[in-house]
Amino acid sequence: MTTLPATTPKKLGLAIDLDTCVGCQACVTACKGWNDQGAGLSDQDPYGADPSGTFLNRVHSYSVQPIEGASQIVNFPRSCLHCDDAPCVTVCPTGASYKRAEDGIVLVNADDCMGCGLCAWACPYGARELDADQGVMKKCTLCVDRIYNENLPEEDREPACVRGCPTGARHFGDFADPESKVSKLSAERGGFALMPDLGTRPVNRYLPPRKKDMRLEASVLAPLLDIKATGFAGWLDRVLGKI
């Protein structure tokens, strides 16, 4: 049913640390790898001149120029934010799109999807991509087939992107619980939502880059240039200096 649940007891989602992310794309490949099982995520012309494919997660790189000081590079993973007020769900005419009442995960039932693409239009975040081979909409499932999967070792029961992140920039948890790791992280670091004015009430939070250290007036290389030789080299330095 494409009406949204009034509230969900759990709000599962991701906290993505823009300070720690190095833009290595490991989350992109981990996501594609895990979700490529079964029906999978198709690619078109993957090794040809004009490759294209279905991805549930994309990592952008931005240059941010503060008013003072040097510009910063911010790597920015973008995927479904599992919005509380998900516009992609309510527009769906077939009932394929839904938000789970128990944990708030937004999913697509491929057996009901007619591939009209209206949900992708309704999403401000570009979280949904139509699979060109299968003709149905694909989106982040928050690895619903991992997080509750008792056949996996406990440490693997988190989304593939979180498990695969080498720098620990991605955190998975329940935002409805103020004591959860992600809630605390978000509160501590000033986690923010994307385009909140559009009224989608995203669950995922982004943790802003930390403030840079104070920059010294002199070159950071200065201590390295002022070398004091010791031992034989020091004796030679002193002797030659006196001649």
Q: Which residues of this protein are in contact with other proteins, per CB under 8 A? A: 1-4, 18, 50-55, 58-67, 71-74, 76, 78, 87, 89-96, 111-118, 120-126, 129-130, 132, 134-136, 192-195, 197-199, 206, 208-209
Phi, psi of 97 (to 5 degrees): -85, 135
Check if the beta carbon of residue 106 is closer than 8 Å to that of residue 5. Answer: no
Nearest by Cα to 119 from 101, 144, 96: 96
Neighbours of 101 (CB within 10 A): 14
Three-class DSSP category at 174: strand
Rank residues 99 and 146 by Cβ distance to other proteins and give the closer one.
99
Rank residues 34 and 55 by Cβ distance to other proteins and give the closer one.
55
Place of tokens 């009932």: 95
Q: How far is the CB of 206 from other proteins (least distance, A)?
A: 6
Structure tokens at 89: 């769900």
Q: How far is the CB of 96 from other proteins (least distance, A)?
A: 8
What is the rounded CA–CA span in Å between residue 36 and residue 29? Answer: 10
Q: How far is the CB of 90 from other proteins (least distance, A)?
A: 4
| End-to-end Cα, the chain, rounded Å | 92
Q: How far is the CB of 141 from other proteins (least distance, A)?
A: 17
Check if the beta carbon of residue 119 is closer than 8 Å to that of residue 137. Answer: yes
Rank residues 49 and 227 by Cβ distance to other proteins and give the closer one.
49
Q: How far is the CB of 229 from other proteins (least distance, A)?
A: 42
Check if the beta carbon of residue 131 is closer than 8 Å to that of residue 55. Answer: no
Rank residues 4 and 147 by Cβ distance to other proteins and give the closer one.
4
Rank residues 71 and 149 by Cβ distance to other proteins and give the closer one.
71
